[in-house]
Chain A
Amino acid sequence: MTMLEIKNLQVSVEDKQILKGINLSVSSGEVHAVMGPNGSGKSTLAQVIAGRDTFEVTAGSVTYFGKDLLELAPEERACEGIFLAFQYPVEIPGVSNLYFLRAAVNAARKHRGEDELDAIDFMEIAKKKMASLGMDNQMVSRAVNVGFSGGEKKRNEIFQMALLEPKLAILDETDSGLDIDALKTVADGVNALRGPERAIVVVTHYQRLLNYIVPDFVHVLADGKVVRSGDKSLALELEDKGYGWLGNGARPELAVRA
């Protein structure tokens, strides 16, 4: 079934239009890759779906399981199963990763009318997930992202995703700055989450990640519009020919709804 339906989405920040009419439809079980050159609006799209209020939606609609997503506060979207793996994960000094994650998991459980987990139950669940992701135990006792290397921060995002088990996971340039081992860890984490009930949107600049997370659909953004959609071969073609091949993004007639 259709999970996320984006129609003619137009977004501005401080009067500068960044998204100029995006159409995108994502159904359960699918993995979509959103590619494009720097400044094409990829990250903006990811953040608007997550509810970042620095962006102003000037036209269009976004529905999530048929509901108007734009009406929901960011924390409500999160509780409804939308997860954004941040391009730049934020540091929160003095707050342990474990405490933070338990608060996140319990917020979602509360939202669903389930009992909140106590520290001991949560620790057990967290340990299992860590083991499955090959993560170091001591990472959870450290403050959220403080003193983490770039790779550790991205792994931590994937760990959070694994714990929160979202319905729709959006990965915003999670592959940037990762060495090949970290890239594999991230990909393993994402692939473990793949399933008929979930959808994943991978925002990336490079094709490299898509060798490990094989997408069902690939969309190319340029200048705030989807200029190409296709299957995984489109990513390879892009890798081969570069974004320049698409011209200045001036071929909207090629944008096909997946």
Chain B
Amino acid sequence: MSSTSDLDVLTSQDYKYGFVTDIEAESAPPGLNEDIIRWISAKKEEPGFLLEWRLKAFRHWMTMVEPTWPNVHYPPIDYQAISYYSAPKSKKDGPKSLDEVDPELLETYEKLGIPLNEREALAGVAVDAVFDSVSVATTFKGRLEEMGVIFCSFSEAVKEHPELVEKYLGTVVPFTDNFFATLNSAVFSDGSFCYVPKGVRCPMELSTYFRINAANTGQFERTLIVADEGSYVSYLEGCTAPMRDENQLHAAVVELVALDNAQIKYSTVQNWYPGDKDGKGGIYNFVTKRGACRGVNSKISWTQVETGSAITWKYPSCILIGDNSIGEFYAVAVPNNRQQADTGTKMIHLGKNTKSTIISKGVSAGRSSNTYRGLVKIQKGAQGARNFSQCDSMLMGDKCGAHTFPYLEARNPTAQVEHEATTSKIGEDQIFYCNQRGIPTEDAMSMIVNGFCKEVFRELPMEFAVEAQKLLGVSLEGSVG
């Protein structure tokens, strides 16, 4: 039941979503220079301000060095070998309905179990599907438009709402922010844009499914969500990717802006191809996600379940500017085999009586490494700021690792900062106890891990919570400790 060889056999399960869609891509040649950036911008018919912004980012990026501080290891990336743009060709300039969408593309979504037709209305989910670098279909637009909610691809937002894009783009994650965010600013291809007007409660969960396809194509998503005064929006992001031998770079940027009394809930289920059991292939997931609680009483919650990617490097953060604003981070990271994860959050308290909560659950299996890295910073003016952090790690087997690096900086004497951390090993005693009650080992593992992660799962929207629990079961199949 618990011997090392059994563990090795059982954890060697193949990735279930490994297939490649054969679609003719219209790609940029590999390499990165100002001409390529101009080409991308022209291809997307962007206004001048955006091209200028991209070029500024690129020039800045040229002066930057790739960071080495994360607790992850990978061979050097050749940024000149990457193609920075790839769009699936469609029959016309842009599909206006599902009938116009490439049937093979639809089939891909079918395989992934993403429903893209009107039946989704029942599920209450609007999908802005990103395939490679271009959005191909957006549903439920009509209903959202009635309420004044703008939910579209980033490219479309650039064309239809350039003033909003110009006003908010780069205001949370500036183009100088970090190596990968700066690269993204220079070459970002597409992504999602959402604007919820004053006082509107978005009537459905907004959702984007990401998928990386064409070989050697880094994907550089850019997401911008703005919740105007007194509004509310819940956004879901989920993804799987086809099997590939080459490592694939993914450097996305997500910016959230919450104005007075606004609330944004951002949930992620991330299941990109993690590489095979020896660590070959798999996605490099270097993501910058940040939210700014600009208004008073505003609130931003990040909830994420990370089971995929060869390497995950991401720290969804909140900048709590408005008085009484709230930042939350709930995360489950489940690396297996040779996956590496260095994740966490930053909570920057600027406003008075700002509050933040961090609940991080790491489950490590196989030979994986899992690092939690978190910063809680209370600035001078943040009178009465409060933080609570809890980081729990669970180990399966004896070849994986878990590390916790909490950084706390309190510059205001009235601040209250609490940090709790635990590490536990999934016990043979627990498994045997379940077995003795008739519950098979695999079910027992899944039950124990789901119990461990419960505090995070209950923050997920209902349909996502179910998906996340299934995903966890699949990811850990056979990881008997």
A binding-site residues for B, Cβ under 8 Å: 50-54, 73-75, 77-79, 83-84, 86, 89-95, 99-101, 103-104, 107-108, 111, 143, 160, 164
Contacts and interface: CB of A to CB of B under 8 A. Distances in A.
A160 B437 contact: yes
Contact of A94 (B433, B441, B453): B453
B90 interface: no
25 contacts: A51-B436, A53-B1, A53-B2, A54-B428, A75-B435, A75-B439, A77-B436, A84-B436, A90-B427, A92-B451, A94-B450, A94-B451, A94-B455, A95-B447, A95-B450, A99-B447, A104-B434, A104-B437, A107-B437, A107-B438, A107-B439, A107-B443, A160-B437, A164-B437, A164-B438
A93 B1 CA distance: 22
B430 interface: yes
A107 B453 contact: no
Contacts of B437: 78, 100-101, 103-104, 107, 160, 164
Contacts of A94: 450-455
B146 interface: no
A13 to B, nearest CB: 13
A104 B440 CA distance: 10
Interface in B1-39: 1-2
A91 B427 CA distance: 10
B contact patch SS: helix
Given A75-B438, A93-B452, A94-B452, A86 B433 contact: yes
A11 to B, nearest CB: 16
B225 to A, nearest CB: 31
Nearest to B3: A53
Contacts of B434: 75, 92, 100, 104
Given A94-B455, A107-B440, A51 B447 contact: no
Contacts, number: 79
A90 B450 contact: no
B454 A79 contact: no
B239 interface: no
Kindly list the 3 A-B residue pairs having the minimum CB-CB distance in the complex, ordered from nearest: A94-B451, A95-B451, A107-B438
Nearest to A108: B438
B278 interface: no
B439 A92 contact: no
A13 B87 CA distance: 63
Interface in B385-439: 427-430, 432-439
B98 interface: no
Contacts of B72: none
Given A90-B427, A90-B429, A78 B436 contact: yes
Nearest to B1: A53
A60 to B, nearest CB: 21
Contacts of B441: 75
A155 to B, nearest CB: 16
Contacts of A93: 451-452
A92 B440 contact: no
Contacts of A103: 437, 439, 443, 447
B260 to A, nearest CB: 36
Contact of A75 (B2, B440, B452, B455): B440
Contacts of A50: 436
B439 to A, nearest CB: 5
Contact of B435 (A73, A91, A99, A143): A73
A92 B447 contact: yes
Interface in B234-272: none
B101 interface: no
B1 to A, nearest CB: 5
B451 A74 contact: no
Contacts of A108: 438
B165 interface: no
A119 B451 CA distance: 18
Given A53-B1, A103-B443, A92 B448 contact: yes
A90 B431 CA distance: 9
Nearest to A110: B438
Contacts of A95: 447-448, 450-451, 454
B323 to A, nearest CB: 35
Q: Which of B2, B430, B450 has the most CB of A within 10 A?
A: B430
Contacts of A101: 437
B433 to A, nearest CB: 4
Given A53-B1, A92-B434, A101-B437, 20 more contacts: A50-B436, A51-B435, A53-B432, A74-B435, A75-B436, A75-B441, A78-B437, A84-B436, A86-B433, A86-B436, A90-B427, A90-B430, A90-B432, A93-B452, A95-B451, A95-B454, A100-B447, A107-B440, A143-B451, A164-B437
Interface string B83-121: 000000000000000000000000000000000000000
A208 to B, nearest CB: 26
B448 A74 contact: no
Q: Which of B428, B439, B448 has the most CB of A within 10 A?
A: B439
A85 to B, nearest CB: 10
Interface in B351-408: none
A100 B448 CA distance: 10
A51 B441 CA distance: 13
Contact of B438 (A53, A90, A91, A104): A104
Given A52-B432, A89-B433, A111 B438 contact: yes
Contacts of A92: 430, 433-434, 447-448, 451
A52 B430 CA distance: 12
Given A92-B430, A93-B452, A94-B454, A78 B447 contact: no
A99 B448 CA distance: 12
A115 to B, nearest CB: 16
A84 B429 CA distance: 13
A91 B433 CA distance: 9
B439 A104 contact: yes
